[in-house]
Every structure is written in C-alpha cells, then in structure tokens.
A and B are shown apart, each in its own frame.
Chain A
Amino acid sequence: MTSPQPPTAIVIRSAGINCDAEMVRGFELAGARVDLVHLDRVMSEPGMLKKYDLIGFPGGFSYGDDIGAGRVFGTRVREHLYGALRDAAERGTPMIGICNGFQVLVQTGLLPGFAHGVWPTEPPESTVALAENAGARFIDRWVRMEVPAETRCIWTRGLTDDAELMTLPIAHGEGRFVVDSERTLASIERNGQVALRYAGDDNPNGSAGNIAGICDPSGRIFGLMPHPDRYLSWFNHPYWTRLAPEQRTGDPPGLRIFRNAVEAVRTVSA
C-alpha cells in the first residue's frame, strides 16, 4: 500500500446505461473507491467532479441510443458538463469511456482531445465518430487486440503480448471508427493516440486503421469500443477451458487496464 487513502472514481450512469456495475467492479478490483452517480445529479452539481481522481463513462444504450449511439447522453454532457470535464482534463484526471461511453466522449469533444493548456473553453466540433458497423448489425464476439508500441495511453501500458490472452469482447451496433479527414487520422496516428487496435485482419466493424480505442494527447483520457470491464476474471476468457492453469495467472488484460489508471493516480498522489 503506497497510500492509506485509495484513489476515488466516479462512474456516471443514466437511463439505459447497463454496464455500470462491471465498470464499478473493475475500478474496485483495481483498488479504487467508487461512487456510481446519475448524470442528472452531476449536471446539477458539476463541481463534484473535482472530488474524484478518476472518471468513468460506462457502456449501455443511454436513452435507448435513440437518434444515434450516445447522442442524447453526449448532447447533455456537452451542454452542461463540458467545462467541468475540460478542467478535469487539464488537471490530468484519467477518464475512460467504454463502448457507449466512448461514443459519448467523442461527441462531447473530449476525444481525440487537446494537449495540456490548449483545451478550448467551448465544446469543440467532433472530428471522429463511431458509425454503424459495416455489416449493419449488432455484433457480440471476442476479438484479438494489440497495443501499438508507440501509444501514449496510460491505460493500455504493459498489457500481455500473448496473442491468446490479449483478446477483448466487443458488443455493439455502432462501433466503426470514422474520421472527418485523413489529416485527423494522420495526427492521431502520429501523436501516439491510437491506444488499441483490432489485431491482424480481424476488423469486426470496418473501423479506420483497425482502431478499437484512442486516447487524448496526454494519454489519460481513453475511449474504446471493446469491453475490458467484461474481462476482469480469467473465467471471462472466451475459451479458458482450453488454457493451461499457469497461463491464467496475474491480472487478466481487462483488469490490468483499470489497474494501470488507478496505479497512475496513486503514484502521483503518493
């Protein structure tokens, strides 16, 4: 124990969010103390975000994903919480958006984000988005992942390179990563902001550059379509019954992602 006070995380839910329990469990297993708070409450008291060392936007179908995935949640955050979240970004607070949470982060302008000190005061226009899967259908399956060596992302550091273990489940209808221009894509790539890619040729939704997750230039704000929150135990692995027991030791990659951020916060405060 490096610090007597565990880091604190806030997980923000709304109607239709349904992966909040897994995200809470992920932060807790990684050593954080977690509050699960309704978006309405955060909107009525944006200052509360200052209390937290980590911020999480979980998956689900916020407001039914009616109109578009994460659109209503994203619009509400953009209108009411952008300032508080920008301040948190400037403070270096790690944030994660998984699946629907990723869709929210890109629509609020928090991703691909800005370098320290140059975050705009008003919400910026979106430059990336998650479009309907190329197959026009919801897909749930496990997909092999790889972490680009040059990534700045603090969340995906040190993940195993054992191809059998480095896999994550996707479950979405709108997860195809699309950019507004080649320049945006080039800049994300060049800046080391690609945090996670679908490995090999197995691109399940037609994402540009096989991109499964990106981070902001500081590497602390992370959004991804796959669900690390569903890989907190080795029993979650899609074919753990085939793995040797000695393969199933230590943190599974999903838990390691949460642990990375919690440890990063702990190190700073210690």
Chain B
Amino acid sequence: MTPPPMAPTGSPMRERETGSDPVRLVRIEVRPHERAGDPRGDALRKQAASIGVRAGAVRSALVYLIEGMLSDADVERVRARLLTNSVLETSVVGASSAAAGERTIEVHPLPGVMDPVAETVRATILELTGAECRVSTGKRFDVAGISEKQAAEIASRFLANPVIEAVHHAPHCPEHLAMFPGSESTVRHVTITTLGDEALRTLSREGHLFLSLDEMRAIQSYFREQGREPTDVELETLAQTWSEHCVHKTLKSTVRITPPAPPEDDVIDWTNRPDHVVNADGSVTIHNLLKSTVAAATNELIADGVDWTLSVFVDNSGIIRFDDEFGVCVKVETHNHPSAIEPYGGAATGVGGCIRDIIGTGLGATPIANTDIFCVAPPDMADIPNGCLHPKRILTQVVAGVRDYGNRMGIPTVNGAVHFDERYVGNPLVFCGSIGVIPAHLCKGAAKKGDRIIALGGRTGRDGIHGATFSSAELTDSHADEFSHAVQIGNAIEEKRTLDAILRARDVQGGPLYNAITDCGAGGFSSAVGEMGEKLGAEVHLDRAPLKYEGLRYDEIWISESQERMVLAVPSGNVAALQQICDEEQVELADLGHFGTENAELVLNYRGGEVGRLSMAFLHDGIPMPTREAKWEKPKVGVKPTAADADEIDIEKTLLKLLSDPNIASKRWIVRQYDHEVQGNTIIKPLVGPLGDGPGDAAVIQPVAGSKQGLAIACGMATALGDPNKGGDPYLMALAAIDECVRNLVCVGADPTRIAILDNFCWPSCDKPENMGSLVRAAEGCYDGAKAYRTPFISGKDSLHNQFRTDDGRLIEIPPTLLISGVGIVPGVSKCVTMDAKLLSPDKTGSCGIFITIGDDLKFANGQMVVDPIRCAAAAYAVHLVIQRGLALAVHDVSEGGVLLAVAEMAIASEEDCGIDADWEFLVPWNEEAGCEDETLVNHLQVGKYVVQLAGYSGGPEFEQVRACVFEASARFGLIPESIASIDAVLSEEDDIRRERDAIDILWCGHFTRSGNFNGIPTSTLRDAFFGTLDW
C-alpha cells in the first residue's frame, strides 16, 4: 500500500471500520538508551558552557503528540515499531519525570508552522494502523544543575525561536492539538479612489504593501478608471508584483547621477556608455540601469562573438552551453530578511527556492550543485542591538539550514564563503546558489492558451505571507513580531518528490507533458501564475488549491509563499498522464484553472464568486518608474598606503593575525557539514590537499557522466574595496569581485574564455542618493569588468533595503555588498590543478619545488588602488596557458593577505612537514611611494595575481616556458605587439625591454621544502592559527 500524499493535519477525522476507539491525544517520549550515549544532550551542555552556564548532565528526548482514534494495540505498535529503535532508544507513553535537580526545557512548534517530521509520522501511522491522526513533535531536554533563569537563557539562545516555537518548562501534554485559527473569507473591498496622499501612504504601510506614493497613485487612478474600489486580493496582487523583490524597480529605473568633479579625477569614463547621456551640467542620465550596464555587457559580448549563452536574464536562471547536448544553468538568490528573523528556516527555504528556480528553468533542469555565501556580524561582537539574534547563532543556524535542505535534496554544496562585518548584525546576508544541467533543446517554454494551471507539490498554508513585500522594507527591532507570518520552514523531501515527478514528466517519450513550468517563490501563486499568464491572461479558482489546514482566506491562498510548490502549464490531454506520475511519486496535483482569458485579464474566483479581475497589462507595465537621484562624492578618507617603518615590520605577527582573522580563517567546520560529494560527480572538492582541509579556490564537477569536460564553480567578493566609509569605491569593488571570481575559476583549470558570471547586489536603501550613487558605480564596474574579461552576466538579483533601525532610532546600513558568482568550462578534467603545494623529492639544495607569481603588483593613484581589468584578464589567460601546458603543480589566487598569505595557505594545505625557503621581500608588496616593502599592504585586497608552483626545480625549463605563456597572453590582450611576443624571436634590445615592461609581471619567489618551517615560523603554528578561530 502506498502512503497517501500528506493530507491536511487538520482534516476531519473519519470513522474507522471498527469505529469504537475514541479520539484521544497520546504523548510518546523517546530517549537515547544508556548504551547509545546522548550526543544531542552533550552538544547542548557544550553550548551552554560557551555562554558561561556550567550545567551538569543534559538528557535529550524526542516528544510525539498524536491525536486520533488509536487503540491501545495501535499505540503500542506505533511506539515500539515506528518511533523506537530498541538498540538505541527507550520510550514511554506519557511523560517521564525529571530527576531531582533537573530542569526541563521542552520546545514545540507553534500551530501552523511546518513540521516535516510530524507529517511523516502521520502518514506512516496511517499506513501501519489505518488511523488518521494529527501529529505534532517536540524536543525535550532535562538539564541538571542550572537555575530557572539559566534554563530560560539556554532555551532562548540555543533551542527556540519565539517566532516559530513555544518553550515549556514542564512536559507539554495538552488535551487537544491546537487548530490554526481560521478567518472569514468574505470579499473585502478597500477604499482607495477617494483617499488623499497621506491616507494612501498610511494604507501602503499599514497594509504591508510597501508601495511608494507614486505607485499608490497609479493604482488609485486605475481603479478610478474602472469606476470601483479594489478588492483586497487585487491590491495584494499589485503589491507583490510591483515589489522591489519581484520587479527590480530600482535597477530598472532611470537614474541621474552627479559624478565627482573634475571628470579626470574619476576612474570611470562616463562617455560612450550604452544608454548613458552626459548632461550639460556634468550629470549623467542612465535609462534603465540594469539594461545599460550588466545586461548591456552581455548583449555586446554576444554581438561580438560570445556564442555559447543559451538563455540570459529572461528565465528563472541563466543558461550556457555545456556541450552539444546539454546546457548548464545557474541562479543565485538572497534570503536576507527571513534569515534575520529565523535563520534556520530562512536559509533552508533560501536554498529550496533557488533549487526550484533551477527546476523551473526552461522545461525543467536537474539540480547538480549548490553554493552558499553568508555575511554576518563577527561572532565575538559585544553589543548586540535589541531585536537582533546573536551573530554566532545566526551563523550556526544558517549553516544548519543550508546543510539540512541541500543534503536532503541530494545536491552537493560545493562552494561558498563567509564575510564578517559588524554592520550585518541586524541584517545578515544569505546568498544561495544552485546549478543545473538541462537538455539543450528544452531551454524554452511558454504557456499556451487553454493550458491547465497545475500546481504540484506542497500544500498552501499561512506561512510566508508578505515575504516579497517584507523583503523590500527596512528591518527594525520589532520586525520579528510584526512579520512572523513571513517566516517559513522548509520540507526538503516534499521538494525532492516534486523534483522526481517533474523529471519523469519531462523525460516521457514524446517530450514533456507540459508547455511551461515555474516555481512558486516570492508572491506565491500570484507571481507564478501572473508571470506565466502575462500575455494570455489566466482564470484561477482559489478554492481548488489544497490547503494545509482550514481557515485560509482567498487572498492568503493567492499570495502565500508556502514552500515546495511548482506551477505547470499542462495541455488538458496530458493531465491524466501527469496525475499518474504524481500518484506514483506521492506528489499532490491540483488543477487551479486555465491560461487564456478574454482581454488577457487575470480573473480570480473563490467558491463560485469572482474576487478579483485585473488587466495583465496594468499588472506588468503599469508601475510608474520615476527618475532617481544618485550622488557620488569622492570619499574623504583616502586608502593611500603609508609605509611602515622598516623596523616595525613583524611578519610573523602579521601572518598569524591574518590567518586567524575570521574572514580568512578556515571554514572547514562549515564545509564538512555539507554533503559535497552526493551524485558522485565532485572531482575537485571544496577542501583539497592530502589532509582534506586546504581552502580550494573553486570546485569542479562533472555535470554529464562520461564527458571529459568539467564545470568549475566559484565566487568573488571585494566588499572592503567598495566601502564608502573606508574610502572605497564600489566601481573598483565590482572589478575586483569579478577578478576574484575569474581567478578562482582559472586556478583549478577553467577556460577563461568560457566563464559566465552572475551578480547579486545587496545594498542599503537606495532612496538615499548616496547609496543609489554607489549602486550605479558598482553597476558600471560590472559593465567594464564583464567586457574586459569577456565574461557575460547570465542572471542576477538584487536586494536593496538591507539596513536595520535599532530601538533607539540608530540606522545601521550594511556595507554595499556585491557577490559575483561564476561557472567556467574545464576543457579536460585530467588537467585540473589544486592549490596545495606538491612536494617533490628534494634536490641537492633541499628544494621540493619552486613557486613564482604571475600578475602585476598593487598600484595606487590618487589614493585609490588601480585596477586594470584588461591586464587582469591577460594574467588569467596566461595562467590558463600555464595549466594547459602542464607547467603548474599548484595554483592559488592572491587576495586578502597578499602573496604572503597565499603561499602560507598552499603550505598549510600540503603535507604536515611542508615549509618554505624564500626572501620575505618576495612575499610582501612593494610600496612604490615609500620605496620599500610594506607589510601593511598585505591587508589590501589584491587583484590579477596568482602564485604558481612550477612543475620542476630551479634551473629547469619551466620558468622560460611560463614566460612564453605570459608573453603570448599579453599579446593576445594587446599589451605588447604580437611580433615581439614569441620568446624565441631575436629581438632588438628596445623590443626586449618593452616586452618585459609591458607584459604582465612574473616574479620568481622561493622554494617549498620539507622542513616544516615557513621561513622560520613552524608551519604547525600557522595551521593552528588558521584552523583555531572558527573550529566550532
């Protein structure tokens, strides 16, 4: 017998055939058996100790509350057969009593919160006993030797989030499970046509619409024309569709920016940019910022011969060609505001949503890898504002969320990063990426008139109401209370079943059973159906959506962001075949209506009556686009380097400080919690080297079994360079982020001419002209960078209200943050390289191999770091040639911490006795202005530079061969003439000098050794610093 798909937990209980058992609530408590130990209890004890609470023993238990018509024999069967593993656990019906001196902490989800374990228990009890029950679960801890206050502290710091969970200090055993409170579904009209400006503003704020006055006025005039007031669901639909989250109105708007004067002081040349008009007063008007920068770069590259993109900016993810048969698609999203309030659920559903974007690309892609990047406050930050969760809790919980969702989906999480800054304290950033593989002929889909609107997957509940609009607002200390309904908990297995069903429906003989597919993300059905039916119109019957529990209003059904739902456009004739597959995979299918209406309108019905009717044209094109003002002034604080006094240079201290800086220190405690091997295609792992703990530059997977090609996956961020408070320039930040991403990919063997990138802008409010100005500069950097590296943007996303207002009115803006994610084709995986030093057997001088750098030194002008993207692109190409010609044993990019740190990481990642022998001057940057080495400069982010371990010893032919690669690459990028590029050519002295001067720099640095000694510092000391900081 097949367990039926998850039925509503609140569905009415049916009479069973035997009919005599009364409905009752049973509590079953399961504890670890003595012989099995109690790791969960031990872990809590350790956590308590971390905040100074010295607890005695901690005993954990799982609690199941089951309400239904169960006989005693049924209860015994469920307890013994299903809920208890007799080797590991003991269990009781009822509640065990706490021992003397113990305090009980019990955590239960609030009514209506997704509880995947309860769903599984319910379905399995039904199969085992035939009884339909309602189930809820809880966690119990009995902690010895703590006070009441400490128990409350432990609960709030480590165990429960009041937004979704209730804490009990005694065993919880209610008489009945709480039902979710319902509400009336009568049609409500909202008065708007007669309101004045102030009343419109109030309506927008209090109705959680988050629309501007201009937008409210546009809606007002639309309904004045219609001669009626809108219904609540119409207003909600407009608010969702017009939210920043869904429509990217800031990046698509017209911007007028006043650049710094005089123009020659600006690193940006504002002339000759697409759709940029330089006005008489020196200001610049940009029509549709996104189209004129990020997208323009892609379009120009495509026009200029980049012929391997398959779908850019139009679908749920961007697609590039992998080989003749397959494409690879990539999407990166943020889930910042939900993660601020409920980090575990926020991060997990961020992953889930991004995976659904891949499933909903074209006619369906198979997810093959995930990425994650977090920006959080430092874990040791002292003053946490009211209304913020502790940063350490946020980090551990977002990691757990990504882990539990990605691992359960069976998708390897292969790449990521963590960046710490105090300004993320109230508004952390959680970026989730997903990558898929798709048959190249299935890259496009479109709904056809008459297609059924089919919802697949999870049921709709009241979780995640107003997520899209909430994400477009500023966070405050009271948001956790006000927006608890925006919080969602994921159910990965629901999504996995849905994926299994969709892939079967895609791959049936004769082609997919559907014409289009998309996911329910922000805005729920309203966005999914609205987008798919943009040209055709759609008629939807909201009462046909399966619900998690009774009592949802029609408008809640329409905008709920309940997870794990997909919408498909299915020809009527295929619905039965799709139903068959869904039945076999235990996926629920609901027919909500059809695409195609007269006048292409969106028509919403509920229980036989019409509750909404909107023109698709107004919905999608009616949003007013005002011109935004942007300002940029050259930062007053310069980053101009000051030379350290030569006597003060203490390299050992500097190096250990860098290695233990949370931004640099090893993240292996995170990486190892993710399954990065599932699917069996991860061939360069995120952690590399013989000890499996070296920080790899990029991961490589094989998306297509049997193909010799691989796909490298990496990211780049250079937040420090763009921080206006520290004299940064977001333009340089964007160039540096693209450069870092490209370098990471090239380091493992990706072909720099086959790299595609994605942008994720996370900014504070751009209503402020200064922030809008920094956003414009970052976008211009994206344009120039993408053009120089010839790396098209294929997809992107922005999140533009990342700031937190404390209860005393202080505004904390995040630093402008740009994440560049990238994928690159690896032509032959056998040539992949990793960053760990490979110790050769020592030659007679004791050298176990030599390392060099490729790429220019840091340069500064006018107090700003100079980034020349063309020279950086040439360096990337040179390194690619070096790898392809087998000249490199190890390659690593040089970023924070300079060459010094890069070489240290290569040694740490190698065997335990790895050391180096080099002159410090080769590892520390040269300060041109001061005319000396300058260890203060190692703190600067560096661009365009690589450390390469050559495949040979000093005196071998490899160094000359590398020079040849460098000249060849320099010529390719026009830095030197082709005629003098060849190393064999007989050149005039002048040409020879020119070649050396204009080509990108290479520098011989030093030797790896087996001394276990890093130029005088024990390598083991370096390891301790690198691994100690974040070893949680």
Q: Given A15-B585, A67-B121, decide whether A242 and B677 contact each other with a Cβ distance below 8 A.
A: no
Q: How far is the CA of A247 from the CA of B85 in the complex (A)?
A: 44
Chain A residues, CB < 8 A from B86: 125-126, 180
Chain B residues, CB < 8 A from A65: 408
Q: Given A25-B705, A67-B120, A136-B39, decide whether A239 and B834 contact each other with a Cβ distance below 8 A.
A: yes
Asked whether, in the complex, the Cβ of B692 is within 8 Å of the Cβ of A64, the reply is no
Asked whether, in the complex, the Cβ of A238 is within 8 Å of the Cβ of B128, the reply is no
Asked whether, in the complex, the Cβ of B117 is within 8 Å of the Cβ of A64, the reply is yes
> How many interface residues does chain A have, given as a range?
35 or more
Chain A residues, CB < 8 A from B834: 239, 241-242
Asked whether, in the complex, the Cβ of B672 is within 8 Å of the Cβ of A64, the reply is no
Q: Given A71-B82, A140-B672, A178-B36, decide whether A16 and B408 contact each other with a Cβ distance below 8 A.
A: yes
Chain B residues, CB < 8 A from A180: 35, 86-87
In the assembled complex, B918 has its CB within 8 A of some CB on chain A: no
Q: In residues 68-82 of chain B, which contact A (Cβ within 8 Å)?
A: 81-82
* Minimum distance in angstroms from B91 CB to a CB of chain A: 11
Asked whether, in the complex, the Cβ of B677 is within 8 Å of the Cβ of A230, the reply is yes
Asked whether, in the complex, the Cβ of B85 is within 8 Å of the Cβ of A60, the reply is no
* Minimum distance in angstroms from A77 CB to a CB of chain B: 12
Asked whether, in the complex, the Cβ of B492 is within 8 Å of the Cβ of A64, the reply is yes
In the assembled complex, A139 has its CB within 8 A of some CB on chain B: yes
In the assembled complex, A76 has its CB within 8 A of some CB on chain B: yes
| Majority-rule SS of B interface residues | mixed
In the assembled complex, B678 has its CB within 8 A of some CB on chain A: yes
In the assembled complex, A135 has its CB within 8 A of some CB on chain B: yes
Against A, the Cβ 8 Å flags (1 = close, 0 = not) of B671-697 are 011111111101111011110100000
Q: Given A15-B493, A64-B116, A131-B36, decide whether A171 and B124 contact each other with a Cβ distance below 8 A.
A: no
In the assembled complex, B584 has its CB within 8 A of some CB on chain A: yes
Chain B residues, CB < 8 A from A132: 39-40
Q: Find A107's partner among B85, B683, B687 (CB 8 Å cutoff).
A: B85
In the assembled complex, A119 has its CB within 8 A of some CB on chain B: no
Chain A residues, CB < 8 A from B677: 140, 169, 171, 227, 230, 236
Chain A residues, CB < 8 A from B688: 238-239, 241
Asked whether, in the complex, the Cβ of B85 is within 8 Å of the Cβ of A171, the reply is no
Q: Given A63-B120, A232-B680, decide whether A137 and B673 contact each other with a Cβ distance below 8 A.
A: yes
* Minimum distance in angstroms from B116 CB to a CB of chain A: 6
Chain A residues, CB < 8 A from B678: 18-19, 59, 171, 230
In the assembled complex, A127 has its CB within 8 A of some CB on chain B: yes
Asked whether, in the complex, the Cβ of A230 is within 8 Å of the Cβ of B39, the reply is no
Q: How far is the CA of A79 from the CA of B673 in the complex (A)?
A: 33
Find the A residue at minimum CB distance from B492: A64
* Minimum distance in angstroms from A21 CB to a CB of chain B: 7
Asked whether, in the complex, the Cβ of A241 is within 8 Å of the Cβ of B833, the reply is yes
In the assembled complex, B88 has its CB within 8 A of some CB on chain A: yes
Q: Given A134-B39, A136-B43, A178-B35, decide whether A71 and B85 contact each other with a Cβ distance below 8 A.
A: yes
Asked whether, in the complex, the Cβ of B1 is within 8 Å of the Cβ of A43, the reply is yes
In the assembled complex, B407 has its CB within 8 A of some CB on chain A: yes
Chain A residues, CB < 8 A from B584: 38, 40-41
In the assembled complex, A246 has its CB within 8 A of some CB on chain B: no
Q: Find B675's partner among A67, A125, A171 (CB 8 Å cutoff).
A: A171
> How many interface residues does chain B have, given as a range?
35 or more
In the complex, how many residue pairs between chain A and chain B have their CB atoms under 8 Å apart? 174
Asked whether, in the complex, the Cβ of B492 is within 8 Å of the Cβ of A138, the reply is no
Chain B residues, CB < 8 A from A139: 672-673
Chain B residues, CB < 8 A from A84: none
Q: In residues 534-592 of chain B, which contact A (Cβ within 8 Å)?
A: 584-586
Find the A residue at minimum CB distance from B36: A131
In the assembled complex, B754 has its CB within 8 A of some CB on chain A: no
* Minimum distance in angstroms from A35 CB to a CB of chain B: 15
Q: Find B128's partner among A63, A64, A79, A179 (CB 8 Å cutoff).
A: A79
Q: In residues 156-183 of chain A, which contact B (Cβ within 8 Å)?
A: 169, 171, 178-180
In the assembled complex, B702 has its CB within 8 A of some CB on chain A: yes
Find the A residue at minimum CB distance from B669: A137
Chain B residues, CB < 8 A from A18: 408-410, 496, 678-679
Chain B residues, CB < 8 A from A189: none
* Minimum distance in angstroms from B584 CB to a CB of chain A: 7
| Majority-rule SS of A interface residues | mixed
Chain A residues, CB < 8 A from B127: 76
Q: How far is the CA of A72 from the CA of B500 in the complex (A)?
A: 19
Asked whether, in the complex, the Cβ of B87 is within 8 Å of the Cβ of A128, the reply is yes
Find the A residue at minimum CB distance from B838: A242
Chain A residues, CB < 8 A from B42: 136
Q: In residues 835-870 of chain B, which contact A (Cβ within 8 Å)?
A: 836, 838
* Minimum distance in angstroms from A43 CB to a CB of chain B: 7
Asked whether, in the complex, the Cβ of A127 is within 8 Å of the Cβ of B87, the reply is yes
Q: Given A19-B410, A71-B85, decide whether A236 and B497 contact each other with a Cβ distance below 8 A.
A: no
* Minimum distance in angstroms from B891 CB to a CB of chain A: 11
* Minimum distance in angstroms from B1016 CB to a CB of chain A: 26
In the assembled complex, A251 has its CB within 8 A of some CB on chain B: no
Find the A residue at minimum CB distance from B584: A38
Chain B residues, CB < 8 A from A79: 81, 128
In the assembled complex, B829 has its CB within 8 A of some CB on chain A: yes
Q: Given A72-B120, A138-B675, A242-B838, decide whether A235 and B683 contact each other with a Cβ distance below 8 A.
A: yes
* Minimum distance in angstroms from A140 CB to a CB of chain B: 5
Chain B residues, CB < 8 A from A41: 584
Asked whether, in the complex, the Cβ of A242 is within 8 Å of the Cβ of B120, the reply is no
Q: Find B680's partner among A125, A137, A230 (CB 8 Å cutoff).
A: A230
Find the A residue at minimum CB distance from B413: A140
In the assembled complex, A133 has its CB within 8 A of some CB on chain B: yes
In the assembled complex, B37 has its CB within 8 A of some CB on chain A: yes
* Minimum distance in angstroms from B675 CB to a CB of chain A: 5
In the assembled complex, B220 has its CB within 8 A of some CB on chain A: no
Chain A residues, CB < 8 A from B332: none
Asked whether, in the complex, the Cβ of A16 is within 8 Å of the Cβ of B493, the reply is yes
Asked whether, in the complex, the Cβ of B705 is within 8 Å of the Cβ of A133, the reply is no
Q: How far is the CA of A40 from the CA of B587 in the complex (A)?
A: 14
Asked whether, in the complex, the Cβ of A138 is within 8 Å of the Cβ of B407, the reply is yes
Chain B residues, CB < 8 A from A179: 87
Q: How far is the CA of A13 from the CA of B44 in the complex (A)?
A: 35
In the assembled complex, B403 has its CB within 8 A of some CB on chain A: yes
Chain B residues, CB < 8 A from A19: 410, 678-680
B127, B675, B689: most-surrounded residue (chain A CB, <10 A): B675
Find the A residue at minimum CB distance from B687: A141
Chain B residues, CB < 8 A from A126: 85-87
Against A, the Cβ 8 Å flags (1 = close, 0 = not) of B487-498 are 000011100110
Find the A residue at minimum CB distance from B835: A241
Chain B residues, CB < 8 A from A140: 672-677
The residues of A with any CB-CB pair to B shorter than 8 Å are 15-16, 18-19, 21-22, 25, 38, 40-41, 43-44, 59-61, 63-68, 71-72, 75-76, 78-79, 107, 125-129, 131-142, 169, 171, 178-180, 206, 227, 229-230, 232-233, 235-236, 238-242
8 interchain pairs (CB within 8 A)?
A: A18-B679, A64-B491, A65-B408, A76-B124, A140-B675, A235-B702, A239-B834, A242-B834
Q: A66-B117, A66-B120 are in contact. List 17 more A-B contacts (CB 8 A).
A: A18-B678, A18-B679, A38-B585, A64-B120, A67-B124, A68-B85, A72-B82, A75-B81, A131-B88, A138-B407, A178-B35, A178-B36, A178-B87, A229-B680, A230-B677, A239-B692, A239-B836
Which 6 pairs show the lowest CB-CB distances between chains A and B? A18-B410, A136-B39, A129-B87, A66-B120, A136-B43, A64-B493
